Structures are given as C-alpha cells and as structure tokens.
Structure 1
Amino acid sequence: MASPTAAVSADTRDKPRLSFWQIWNMSFGFLGIQFGFALQNANVSRIFETLGGTEIALYWLAAPLTGMLVQPIIGYMSDRTWSPKWGRRRPFFLVGAVLASLALLVMPNVTALWMAVGMLWIMDSSINISMEPFRALVGDLLPSEQRTTGFAAQTFFIGVGAVVASALPWMFTNWLGISNTAPAGQIPLSVKYAFYIGGAVFLAAVLWTVFNTKEYPPENLVEFEEEKRRTAGFWNGVRESFAGIFHMPKTMAQLAVVQFFSWLALFSMWIYTTPAVTSHIYHTTDTTSKLYNEGADWVGICFAVYNGVSAIAALLLPLVARRTSRRVTHLLCLVAGGLGLISIYFIQDPNMLLLSMVGVGVAWASILSVPYAMLAGALPANKMGYYMGVFNFFIVIPQVVAGLILGFFTQHVFHGESVYTLVLGGCSMIISGLLTLRVDDADDIRLPAAEQTIQTSSPGYDTTVESDPRL
C-alpha cells in the first residue's frame, strides 16, 4: 500500500485557491443530485409497500449492485477523458442528469412491483453517473487546504436539496390540498408531482455546474493521451476497478471500514424508517389508510429536517476540525447520529422525531464530507476519479449486506418490529465513529510542522486558518 504522503506528492500541480462563487458553482449540481436521492430514499419503500411488496430490503439490492459497477467504471473513464470544451468530469454530469431526470418522471407511474424494482435500478445507476465525478472534481480543482470546504459546500447543497425534496409530498398535501392517498396499488398524486419537480430540478442544477465551471487540462497532454490509449476499453475499466480494492492506499483501507458501519446504519434508516414510524408510532400497516399516509408523509418531513440540519452543520465542520481534528470531528458527529437513531425506539409523539433527526443530520453532514476530505489527501491526482469510484464499494457493500440480512433480522429476530432495526443501525453508527480514530489522516499528520512554520515566520499573526489543510 502506498503511504499517504507519497500519494499526495503525486499531485504536482500548484492549484490556485478558488473564490467563494467558484466553489459555489462547482458544487451547485449536488442540489439536483440530492433531489433525486432524497425522493428515492424517502419514497421508494412507500412505493414498494403500496404495490404489495413485503421484502423491502431485498428489493433495495437493485441500487447497490448497479452502484458497485457504475461508480468505479465512471470514475475510471472520467480520469481518461478530456475535451477542451467539456473538460473531464462535466460530460458525465450531463449524461447522468438527463437519464436520471427521465427516470424520476417514470418512477411514480409504475404499476407493478417488478417495474418499481427495475426503475430503482435504472434511476440509481443514472444518479451515480452524475454523482461520482462530482466527488473527484473537488480533488481536481481545489488545493489541499480548501478540500474540506469543497466537500462541505457539496454537503450544504445536498442538505438544501434534500430538505425540499423530502418534504414535497407533505407540502403538496398540506399547502396545496393535493391528495396523499390513492386506491390500492396506485401511487398518490402528491408523490407523483414530487417526482416530476425532482426531475426538472435535477437537470437544471447539474446544467448550472456544467456551464459555470472550468476544469484544468492534464499537465502533460501527450502523456495523458498515451496513457488513455494504453488503458482504454470498458472491460479494462471493470478489471482495474475491482483490482483497485487490493491496491488501496492505507488511509483508504482504514476509511473503508469506517464507511461500512456508517452506511449500514444509513441504509437501515432509509429502508425501515417508514415502516418503523407507521407501525411503532402511528400503529398501522394499512397502506391505503389515511393514518399510514400521514405517517409516511411525516417521515418525509423528518428526512427534510435531518438534511436541513446537515446543511447548517456542514458549514461548521471546518471550524470544529480546525479546533480538534477531522478524526475527532467525525467521531463526535457519528455518535450524535447513532444516539438519534436509537432514540426513535423511545418516542411515541411524532413531533419528537424531529429531535432525533437533529443528531442524524449532524452525522450525515460529516459522512458526506469528512471521509472524502481525508481520502482526497491520500490519493494520486491522476487516479482521483478512479479511487473515488472504488471507494464507493464501501458504500455499496453495506447496502448489499443490509439487503441480505436486515430483512432476516427484522422478520425473524425482531418479529416484524422495524424500530429495532433502527436501533441496530444506531449502534453501527457509533461503532463507525470509534473506528475513525484509527485512520491515518495525511493532512493532520502534516499539520503540526505547517503550523510551526507559520508561527515561526509570522510571529504575532495567526494565519493558521488560511494554511490549515483541514479546512
């Protein structure tokens, strides 16, 4: 395994610091991407149950299996793409946005369970085509000292997009009087309209980034073209992507374990919050009843709250990391999220769920930014997209595990009580936080010498903020 510092040294470009608006523009597309993911996370289990599905966790396997294939290959391909007009990552933003927007329009109109599972497969693949190059873009364009800020900006837009998208069905019903119930086997109009809005916002937000962001060309175009010819081919990309698991930098391997437990917790939440809340708090499992759909709509509000909290928390993470470290920051955030999930078991008043979601939102902000900031400092610049794609395996693998075991635990160990599955997820998130302390963060390792140099060269003037790589 390559050492973190050796990996960092591979990035020889002297990248300029970007302005606030440049970081804003390059991150804005995530507003649309998260519109798609939020609608998917808050409503797909509801759609499955409406269409008569019972093995909900198993149906969700469609999403990670496609992500496992799509994200590393897209990362591999985008590393080997360059167009003077469109750049390296932006062509993939655009293609994914078009496909995902179309999938969002189709999803609420499915009429059978097998169609819903298949459309989840297509929709998740399309969103992944856009999403993974966005992660690599931060490593491409930002110097080390701005990467945490770059990922935090993405997290801010993720939060804003998810707040609105998650709450849309509730807003359509409570503000516009659009029905949130429908005959058996049909999707309510409030959910349909939410997906239509999501498709439009997804495309518009990604187009903003595509047309308002400039990318750097390869440092040596001749060598780049030679490398592209030598490693071209779809199957070569597949082979290299899966081989990447066995050649990870040390920091990436350590973060992989952290990711596994944190994302296992997240998937337990996304898959089982709707059945847990409707059965444990609203005391119904009848998907055609008004009470069930009120509970399902309230889950959307809960998801909006945790995403709203994450948008605010993302702005504070660089400050906390500067005072402590990125590892300690991630630990504190994940413990807050784990306690938030566990607390749902003790709640009977739906309004109190919003307090639980505060903890989840703090954890979500950190999960979306801090691991990627630590990872970016440990990767060679010419393989940023590739390794970011390989890193996605450790989001996908826990989702596969969730699909295979959470259903068994829920039905046979917890006797159908989904709320216990959320408690299990909370414990997993706390374990993830503790494992973060084992991670070698290259930027934290380099920080003391950097601070010493600053303090020696500039006595009486604190410039640590500008030079701190944890920002």
Structure 2
Amino acid sequence: MTKPKLSFWQIWNLSFGFLGVQIGYSLQNSNTSSIFESLGADVSHLSYFWLAAPLAGMIVQPIVGLFSDGTWTRWGRRIPYILGGSLISALALVLMPNCPKLLAFAPLAMGAFILLFMDLSFNVTMQPFRALVADMLDDSQKTQGYVVQTFLINLGAVVGAILPLVMTWLGVSDEVSFVGLMRNVPGVMVRLGVTQFFSWAALFLMWTYLKPAITGVVTDHATGEVLSAGATQTWVGVLNGTYPIPACIAALFLGRVAARYGNKPVYAACLLAGALGLAGLCLLHDQYALMLPMVGIGIAWAGILAMPYAILSRAVEPRRMGVYMGIFNFTITVPQIVIGLTGGAIVKYCFASDAADMLALAGVFMLLAAVSVFLVKEHKAQ
C-alpha cells in the first residue's frame, strides 16, 4: 500500500516526543557515574551499574514492539506505550537523586533499583517512536524521518546535559511466537549488528569512563591549573552537552548527503569521525580544547541514531516493523552488557585502573565499527 507523502512538520511531529525522552537520557548519562561515586562505588564497579540501561532495553524493547504491533485503540497502537512510559520516566527521574533518603542503609542498592526502573520506562517510551516513523513514512521519506528524529534526540540531549550547569548559574547547587521471529531475522539486521556492537560498545565506554578519565588531567583554560573534582564533573556535563550540537547540525544534512552518496558511505564516514574524536579526548587536556573532539563524536552520534534505522526499515516487512525494531535493540544493549560485565576487569587488570585507556579502547571500537559498515548489504529504496 502506498503511503501518503508527509510534510516536514508532519514528520517533525511524529518524533517530537523524543525530545523529552532524550532530556532524561542525557541527565542520566551525565550524572549516573557521579551519583554512584558519591554513594561509595569504586571506579572499577561503575560499569556494573551502567548495565541497567542495556538490560532494560534488551528485555523491554522487543516486548513493547511485539505488543504495540498488535495493539489497536482510539489513540492508535503506539501512543498508549509512549504516554505510559513517559509518565513513569518522570517519576523515576524524581526518585533517582533521592535514593539515599529512600533507603538510607543501602543507598547503592536503591540507586541501582531506581536506575533499572528508569531505564525500563525510558525504553517503553522510546521504542514505539522508532516504529512510528516506519509506520507512517514510505521508503523515500524514511531516511528523512530518522534524521529528523536524530535532530530532536540531540536537541534534547543538549538541554539535558546543560541543565546542571544552568542550575548552577541560577544558584542551585502480535500472534507469531518470538522464537519464530528470531529465526527469520533479516540478514541485514545481523550485519548491522556487527557495526552496532562496536559503535555502542565505544559509546558505553565513553559515557562510563569520561569523567574518571579526565579527572586530575583536564586543566582550566585561563590558569592552566587542574580542575577540581566538582568542576570536572560540571565540565563533563558541558562536554556531554557539546556533542549533540554538531549532531543536530549533521542531522540536517545527512538525508541529503545520503541520497547522493548512499547510506553506507555516509554511515561509515560518521563513525570514522567518531573514532577521531575519541582519539582527541585521549590527547587533549585543556577544557575548551576537549570540546573539539566532541564535534567528531557528535557526527558519529547523528549517524548511529539515523543511518542503521534507515537501512533496516527498507528490509523489514511493515506488519512486523515494531517487533523487529525492538529486536534490533539487542544490537544496542548486548554490547553495553558485554562491556559492562567486562569493563571493570579490563580497566583494573589491563590498564591499571587508568580510565583514560578505556577512551582509547573506545576509539579502536569506533574505528572497527566504521570498517564493518561495508559488510552490510543494503536494500535499495522502492
């Protein structure tokens, strides 16, 4: 069935809710490691707490995708999940910073529980948005749809990442069995999974170890002195709010560039920019100079959020779009689980607890992701 062409603003409205989801994710990404460090967690244990996100995504997204494919209400089949997940997400965001008050004798355990609760609700909200774009747009507009979604995600990331700094300035310190679906996973999904593994492993390493990697190393631009731990954490928020800005800008051009050169070359180029950016984080120490590598990481982030979905959406039959988009989330969560389980041992026994080496490892993973894009056999747009 031919789908009607949608205007830019109609495409925009399809994904506008992702703005709020990413504000929450951005707050989580910038502050989780610091929250758990403040509760007494050792640097070698941080990756275990970050397992909550990929575990929640791996469990929830395929289930929500499966049920939302077959859910029909007066509000549609995706909206109930988006609405319910968003309300629970808001509650989790309120509870997270108050975990010591909720369970004073075991704040780490309460923090881990709330983090898992938060990620479950984020994933309930996020997955239907991915499927909604594929539901509503034909092949010729899907890349544009995911590019707009990427722009909104990154706009939300900027807001969420910068909120702590701003507050500081303000003076506030369907019927098929699941097994059958897995047996018939499109080949392109499997190949994209290789790229996804390396790129998301790299991102997980950066999110987890950026703060400890630059603590005691990043210097004040004006004085050249090493920033304090508190100032470093604030600057981590600034850095996490920097890379979504070039991601937003890149997202505006990805669709046009991909239409001319193809999705795969553009995807690979984005990931290569990310590898260079991660290398820069290892080499630079001035607080403002550290913002430059974030440009490359932002370009990679734009590609990661748009290009694999544009490629995959052409290979999946529409009636199974939701569940396969959910299953595809395994390629995001599995690498994070693998790194989460092994990261503590790697940083402790391979790198002598030097978190900066984990950023270098992230750069290697991102480079492997860029090379692996050429294993993907893309379906042409109809």
Q: Structure 2: state its 5+ residue gaps.
A: 101-106, 221-225
The 8 Å contact of residues 216 and 227 in structure 2, kept in 1 or not, is answered as no
- Offset, 1:290: 8.1
Determine the C-alpha separation between the residues in 2 that align with 1:366 and 1:267. Answer: 16
- Offset, 1:243: 5.2
Partner of 2:145 in structure 1? 150
- 1:67 matched to 2:36: no
Determine the C-alpha separation between the residues in 1 that align with 2:233 and 2:180. Answer: 42
Partner of 2:339 in structure 1? 402
Partner of 1:303 in structure 2? 240
Equivalent residues in 2 for 1:452-467 (5 A)? Answer: none
Partner of 1:34 in structure 2? 22
Determine the C-alpha separation between the residues in 1 that align with 2:84 and 2:24. Answer: 15
Letter in 1 for 2:170: L
SS of corresponding position for 1:415: coil
Partner of 2:251 in structure 1? 314
The 8 Å contact of residues 219 and 227 in structure 2, kept in 1 or not, is answered as no
- Offset, 1:244: 3.5
**Cα deviation per residue 1:127-146 (whole Å; 9 max; x = unaligned)?**
00010110001110001000
- Offset, 1:115: 1.0
Which of 116, 126, 138 aligns to 2:111? It is 116
Which of 11, 19, 44 aligns to 2:7? It is 19
**Cα deviation per residue 1:344-380 (whole Å; 9 max; x = unaligned)?**
1111211111001000000000000000000000001
Letter in 1 for 2:171: G
Determine the C-alpha separation between the residues in 2 that align with 1:411 and 1:245. Answer: 36
Equivalent residues in 2 for 1:136-285 (5 A)? Answer: 136-173=131-168, 175-179=169-173, 230=175, 240=178, 244-281=181-218
Determine the C-alpha separation between the residues in 2 that align with 1:383 and 1:126. Answer: 22
Q: Count matched residues.
A: 369
- 1:389 matched to 2:326: yes
The 8 Å contact of residues 58 and 403 in structure 1, kept in 2 or not, is answered as yes
The 8 Å contact of residues 265 and 424 in structure 1, kept in 2 or not, is answered as yes
Structure 1 residue runs of 4 or more that deviate by more than 6 Å after TM superposition: none
- Offset, 1:164: 1.1
SS of corresponding position for 1:23: helix
Partner of 1:346 in structure 2? 283
Determine the C-alpha separation between the residues in 2 that align with 1:178 and 1:290. Answer: 20
Which of 83, 90, 95 aligns to 1:106? It is 95
Determine the C-alpha separation between the residues in 2 that align with 1:321 and 1:87. Answer: 31
The 8 Å contact of residues 282 and 292 in structure 1, kept in 2 or not, is answered as no
Determine the C-alpha separation between the residues in 1 that align with 2:180 and 2:243. Answer: 36
Determine the C-alpha separation between the residues in 2 that align with 1:279 and 1:38. Answer: 24
Determine the C-alpha separation between the residues in 1 that align with 2:53 and 2:158. Answer: 22
Letter in 2 for 1:142: L
Cα distance change on mapping 1:416 and 1:243 into 2, 3 Å? farther
Which of 423, 427, 439 aligns to 2:360? It is 423
The 8 Å contact of residues 244 and 390 in structure 1, kept in 2 or not, is answered as no
Letter in 1 for 2:36: F
Cα distance change on mapping 1:306 and 1:333 into 2, 3 Å? same
Determine the C-alpha separation between the residues in 1 that align with 2:187 and 2:53. Answer: 28
Determine the C-alpha separation between the residues in 2 that align with 1:53 and 1:62. Answer: 15
Letter in 2 for 1:178: V
Equivalent residues in 2 for 1:353-368 (5 A)? Answer: 353-368=290-305
The 8 Å contact of residues 161 and 237 in structure 2, kept in 1 or not, is answered as yes
Which has the higher Rg, Structure 1 or Structure 2?
1
- Offset, 1:110: 1.1
TM-score for the superposition, normalised by structure 2: 0.94
The 8 Å contact of residues 36 and 104 in structure 1, kept in 2 or not, is answered as yes
Determine the C-alpha separation between the residues in 1 that align with 2:89 and 2:180. Answer: 28
Query: In angstroms, what is the RMSD of aligned CA positions?
Result: 1.6
Partner of 2:270 in structure 1? 333
Partner of 2:39 in structure 1? 51
The 8 Å contact of residues 164 and 304 in structure 1, kept in 2 or not, is answered as yes
